[in-house]
A and B are shown apart, each in its own frame.
Chain A
Amino acid sequence: MVNIGKKEKIKLLKTMKKIRSFEEAVFKLTSQSLVQGSVHFYIGQEAIATGICHCIDKKDYVMSNHRGHGHMIARGARLEKMMAELMGRKDGYCKGKGGTMHLLDPSIGMMGANGIVGGGNPIAVGLGYACKNFEKERIVVSFFGDGALNTGAFHESLNLASVWELPILFVCENNQYAISTSVDYSTPLADLSKRAASYGIVGTNIDGNNILKVIDETKNCIKAIKKDKRPVLLVCNTYRHMGHSIHDPRTYRTKEEEKNWKKKDPILLFESKLLKEKTIDQAAIKDMQKDIDRDIEKAIGFGKKSPKPGKQELFNDIYA
Chain B
Amino acid sequence: METTFSEAISQAIAEEMRLDERLTIIGEDIGAYGGYFKATKGLYEEFGPERVKDTPISEIALLGTAIGSSILGYRVIVEISYIDFMTISSEQIINQAAKMHYMSGGIVNVPIVVRTQCGAGIRNAAQHSQSLEALFSHIPGLKVVMPSTPLEAKGLLRTSIRDNNPVIFIEHKKLYKTSQDIPDKDIVIPIGKAVKKRTGDGLTLITYSYMTLVALKAAKKLKEDNGIEVEVIDLRTLLPFDKETIIDSVKNTGKVAIVHEACRSFGAAAEISAFIQEEAFDYLDAPILRICGPDTPVPYCPDLEDEYMISKEDIVEGILKNL
Contacts and interface: CB of A to CB of B under 8 A. Distances in A.
Nearest to B64: A122
B24 interface: yes
Given A130-B74, A153-B60, 15 more contacts: A104-B108, A106-B107, A112-B100, A121-B64, A122-B63, A122-B92, A125-B68, A129-B76, A159-B58, A317-B101, A317-B106, A318-B101, A318-B140, A319-B101, A320-B101
A123 B76 CA distance: 13
A17 interface: no
Contacts of A238: none
Interface residues of B, number: 42
B36 interface: no
Interface in A112-154: 112, 114-116, 119, 121-130, 133-135, 152-153
Given A94-B105, A98-B104, A128-B68, A122 B61 contact: yes
B65 A160 contact: yes
B63 A316 contact: no
B70 interface: yes
B103 A97 contact: yes
Contacts of A231: none
Nearest to B164: A320
B70 to A, nearest CB: 7
B317 interface: no
A79 interface: no
B1 to A, nearest CB: 33
Nearest to A140: B68
Closest 9 pairs (CB-CB, A-B): A126-B68, A122-B64, A95-B105, A156-B61, A94-B105, A156-B58, A320-B164, A317-B106, A102-B103
Contact of A112 (B65, B76, B108, B165): B108
Nearest to A316: B106
A129 B104 contact: no
B96 interface: yes
Interface string A87-119: 000001111111000101010000110111001
Nearest to B68: A126
16 contacts: A92-B105, A122-B60, A126-B67, A126-B68, A126-B70, A126-B71, A127-B68, A127-B69, A127-B71, A129-B65, A129-B69, A153-B60, A156-B60, A160-B55, A160-B61, A320-B165
Contacts of B63: 122
Interface string A40-58: 0000000000000000000
Nearest to A101: B103
Given A116-B91, A133-B74, A157 B107 contact: no
A157 B61 contact: yes
Contact of A157 (B64, B66, B101): B64
A163 interface: yes
Interface string A158-173: 0110010000000000
A319 B70 contact: no
Contacts of A111: 68, 71
B105 A96 contact: yes
Contacts of A125: 61, 64-65, 68
Contacts of A135: 72
Contact of A133 (B24, B101, B104): B24
B88 to A, nearest CB: 8
B56 A159 contact: yes
B109 to A, nearest CB: 4
Contacts of A95: 105-106
B2 to A, nearest CB: 36
Contacts of B56: 156, 159-160, 163
A94 B104 CA distance: 5
B102 interface: yes
A319 B99 CA distance: 9
Most buried by B among A95, A114, A160: A160
Contact of A129 (B68, B105, B109): B68
A97 B105 contact: yes
Contacts of A122: 60-61, 63-65, 67-68, 92
A95 B101 CA distance: 12
Contacts of A61: 72
Contact of B69 (A93, A126, A157): A126
Contacts of B65: 122, 125-126, 129, 160
A124 B101 contact: no
Contacts of B106: 95, 316-317, 320
